[in-house]
Structure 1
């Protein structure tokens, strides 16, 4: 197998890992105003992802770095053509990270409320725009003979890409609800479980529509089988939430996200960014790749360090595996400026 194919597959794994782990982070942030009825409950929700959210974002950094090193022309075209939506995602992630750190710096209701809005927006915006971005990558964009994007911002807001955005938004929100039902105890666990069962319905409908559209638009690729398995996994997640089997529901929702990501990459291969102007202008794993020497060095580095990273992150989740309840959250002093 050629190293270009190997690294295309590794990048798919990195994005799948990012969406799997950061997906429930986004879901928790989106559900913050729905499940968090008061400051103590919102602190509980934030604490469920507090030890892991920044580590989950490492997958995004590695995915971007691997793309830059392995397929520099893909990276250049992607970040220049999608500059505005990617900048919006970056700003949202920065604001969200700052909000996690600054929310508890003052015992003032308005202060905490503003940072809560930042957490909600910083979770919702990337959850939506990542789907829009990947929808455009799979669908294809206006690339000229020099592999430069010649379309406009509103060209990216086509129906297929917007449906992709709704798909990631609903899947991540469901994934977050299932995670909270698995991670919390007491009344919060019950409320999160009931909400996850409700969220499963639109997630199944929207994701099934997007996967079906993808399969119809790309009938000659191997992504159909993975799309079908992903759809079955999502149905399994919906059933498990109804039965209140949080562990199985989380496995199924996570499998849905991973399989759907792999399905998009398999559908895309051997292109990395198709051109809708002329297929000859498309970027592929061959014409967008670095030199064989660069790919070879990267492979040895990945072989050496990837197991270390995986073991460390797995250890982190093991250490913080226990359920949290409101009783674990200290009662804070009365918030200044709080009404009602």
Structure 2
């Protein structure tokens, strides 16, 4: 049972990095590629259908973490409280920017919320790198260690590249040169690679500090039957909003 839930946790973490990584990457690239308001509108429109679907993976990941690995929450995450709060604020600011940017007219209003999207995406991307280092290093280690800062920069760069590759799959004008689907698969795999490496190194600790078998059995009965529903919903989103669909022309996030 411990192995099954470790596999579920690993899938959720890697899936979040791969599926939400390009959304964060697009947000990171808005100040660089979104030179005009129309350009930023196209960038937001490209990622808009996928944002909420990607965030479902984060909610499922958090629920699995708290239910399956309570020791990890108590021993490591408690010491990362400031970082976790900063990442939550970044998440809120990024999503607020997506929802509010077109609620009022005015160039200054949109530029402000576009900046919030970029800052929120940067906070989340860099914060994930710091969090991965802190989890790998163990309790009592500051995430602001030089290695942690380098890992934060690496995750941010990989997300930005993943976002750039994703935009190449959207209609002309979204950003950059068109790129084939296999490039998106490669960039998604590389975006998830830091999380996979940390999980591989921490597997013995996680398996040893899993919740009791009785708790895992109850979680299996309550949670695992819904996993196919989440996967089916993700497939539906990608099939519905794949490149070439008319929804790609919607210039905002609704």
User: Which TM-score applies when normalising by structure 2?
Assistant: 0.91
Q: 1:127 is matched with which residue?
A: 125
Q: Is 1:318 the equivalent of 2:225?
A: no
Q: 1:136 is matched with which residue?
A: 134
Q: Is 1:177 the equivalent of 2:139?
A: no
Distance in 2 (CA, whole Å) between partners of 1:11 and 1:57 is 15
Residue 324 of structure 1 deviates from its aligned partner by 7.3
Residue 291 of structure 1 deviates from its aligned partner by 2.0
Greater percentage in helix:
2
Q: 2:63 is matched with which residue?
A: 65
* Structure 2: runs of 5+ lacking an equivalent: none
Residue 7 of structure 1 deviates from its aligned partner by 1.5
* Structure 1: runs of 5+ lacking an equivalent: 143-150, 194-243, 273-284, 331-340
* Number of equivalenced pairs: 250
Q: 1:81 is matched with which residue?
A: 79
Q: 3-state DSSP class of the match of 2:102? A: helix
For residues 264-322 of structure 1, the C-alpha deviation after alignment (integer angstroms, 9 at most, x for no partner) is 211112114xxxxxxxxxxxx32x32221110121233431101110011101111112
Q: 1:164 is matched with which residue?
A: 151
CA contact (8 A) 2:132 2:195 kept: no
* Aligned pair partner of 2:227 in 301, 306, 309: 306
Q: 1:111 is matched with which residue?
A: 109
Which protein shows a greater Rg?
1
Q: Is 1:55 the equivalent of 2:42?
A: no
* Aligned pair partner of 2:187 in 253, 257, 282: 253
Mapping of 1:1-340 within 5 angstroms?
3-142=1-140, 155-185=142-172, 187-189=173-175, 192-193=176-177, 245-272=179-206, 285-286=207-208, 288-323=209-244, 328=249
Q: 3-state DSSP class of the match of 2:242? A: coil
Distance in 2 (CA, whole Å) between partners of 1:75 and 1:128 is 20
User: Which TM-score applies when normalising by structure 1?
Assistant: 0.69
CA gap 1:294/1:248 in 2 versus in 1, 3 angstroms: same
CA contact (8 A) 1:183 1:324 kept: no
Distance in 2 (CA, whole Å) between partners of 1:81 and 1:116 is 32
Moved over 4 A (4+): none
Residue 258 of structure 1 deviates from its aligned partner by 3.2
Q: 3-state DSSP class of the match of 1:271? A: helix
Residue 49 of structure 1 deviates from its aligned partner by 1.1
How large is the Cα RMSD of the aligned pairs? 1.9
